Amino acid sequence: MHIVYLHQYFFTPDQPGGTRSYEMARRLVAAGHRVDMITSDQQPVAGGPDWRVTEEAGIRVHWKNQPYNNSMGWLDRIKAFFGFAIAASRRAASFHDADVIFATSTPLTIAIPAIYASWRLKKPYVFEVRDVWPAVPIALGALNNPILRWLALRLEHEAYHRAARVVALAPGMGDEVASTDYPRDRITIIPNGCDNDIFGAPPPVDALADYAEWLGDRPLIIFAGTLGKANKVGYLADVAAAMLKRDPEVRFAIIGAGADRDAIAQHAANLGVLDHNLKLVPAVPKRILAGWIQRASICLAMFSGPPILWKDAVQNKFFDSLSAGKPVFSNHAGWQCHIAIEHDIGGSMSPDDPDAAAETLLHHARDSAWLAGAAQRTKALAHGRFSRNNLARELENCLSDVVRNDKAN
């Protein structure tokens, strides 16, 4: 198959960010398929070309000059989404020998070039739902304009109903798609997966060299991800302060970038934990992040806001932790938290009581027998149910079925 793969925020393992599309695409290439990835160059070189093309693990990647970062205002983000959608539409429609178009959200506007290319090329398209949009920005109060809300809901409907198949990352997301009257038998659940060859492999020997003295052989609890309002990461400073009273040797690391980073640093400084038992670490490439996760005793997954944000959460950090053999605690009772409880590889910590959260984390971080057992159970999941190899084969079968049905008709 020739697959035109659309993902506005595609990352390789040498970049900070989620790599699901990279991992899926490189496995499709290894299986003998041709993949053209259309994405954005979020930090382009000034004066550089509008598009540049590279090859990443056999994937032909088309990078559009389209600046974007998490600290942008809502209007600037909308401009970035639609600017990319227009340019990507022309690019995707230029592949006249394509067999299928595969688009993965977010943003929801990624459906625009997919629908356009599908129409121009008369080829089917498959849509992957990673987040339930526009329900999330509506719930957050970021999409209050009634006209924009109507347009977003209309785009959501078109994104699903023009797709030959919809891939959802969690059962609840599949239910949300089906609630729009999309046929349930055309919804395939393919969850996020474990990058065992990155997070299960030895990290660079100097990955944590700058923090060696601070860490020593002490327990380490980490959060790695976006430092934005949806994650409520500043709460960890309160947990670190509560931990300081119980066990001052336990270390916390917050790894990442985002609009709330400065506020988190100030809050931690006010509590007296910054650079004491808590460090703020800049966003790092996945191979360096692997070193942090492998060194951790416990990893954290954080969300705030209404249940729609976290009930079907399938965060990369959860699966990265499984690959490294590390337990995961969440501040919510979503799908991934249920998995952790079911397999005794973590659970939930109080989302609003730092003392209770610190007590939960300390109990497990100092239980060497439980940590050893959790390591075995997490790796069993990483190499079985959530193996990226197995999940990529499921995606390949899904796309192959769509192409086969298209040719038959």
Give per-residue pLDDT as tens, 53-85.
999 999 999 999 987 766 677 677 777 788 899
Indicate if the pLDDT at residue 276 is higher than 80.
yes
Q: How are strands ordered across the β-sheet holding 298-301?
A: 278-281, 251-255, 220-224, 298-301, 328-330, 346-348
Indicate if the pLDDT at residue 231 is higher than 70.
yes
pTM of the model: 0.81
User: Region 234-253: what's the mean pLDDT?
Assistant: 97
Residues of the chain with CATH 3.40.50.2000: 2-193+387-408, 197-383
Indicate if the pLDDT at residue 239 is higher than 70.
yes
CB-CB contact of 194 with 322 (8 Å): yes
- Can you say how many angstroms the Cα of residue 83 is from the centroid of all Cα atoms in its chain? 23
Q: Which amino acid is at 40?
A: S
- State percent of the chain over pLDDT 70: 95
Tokens 């401009």 sit at which residue? 79
Is pLDDT larger for residue 16 or for residue 344?
A: 344
Cα→Cα distances 62→41, 94, 129, 259, Å: 9, 12, 22, 28
The 10s digit of each residue's pLDDT in 366-379 is 999 999 999 999 99
**pLDDT number for residue 165:** 98
Pick the CATH number of 197-383 from 3.40.50.10680, 3.40.1010.10, 3.30.470.20, 3.40.50.2000: 3.40.50.2000
**pLDDT number for residue 71:** 66
**pLDDT number for residue 302:** 87
User: Region 205-218: what's the mean pLDDT?
Assistant: 89
Pick the CATH number of 2-193+387-408 from 3.40.50.2000, 2.115.10.20, 3.20.20.190, 1.10.3210.10: 3.40.50.2000
Burial 256-287 (b: 16+ CB within 10 A, else e): bbbebbeebbebbeebebbebbbbbbebbbbe
Is pLDDT larger for residue 37 or for residue 301?
A: 37
Tell me which of 136-145, 276-285, 319-328 is least confident. 136-145
Give the chain's mean pLDDT.
91
Reading phi first (left if > 0) and then psi (alpha if -120 to 50, else beta), residue 128 is in beta
CB-CB contact of 100 with 398 (8 Å): no
Indicate if the pLDDT at residue 182 is higher than 90.
yes
Tell me which of 224-228, 314-318, 374-378 is least confident. 314-318
Indicate if the pLDDT at residue 283 is higher than 70.
yes
Question: In which band, very low, low, confident or very high, does the pLDDT at 48 lie, cut at 50, 70 and 90?
Answer: confident
**pLDDT number for residue 310:** 67
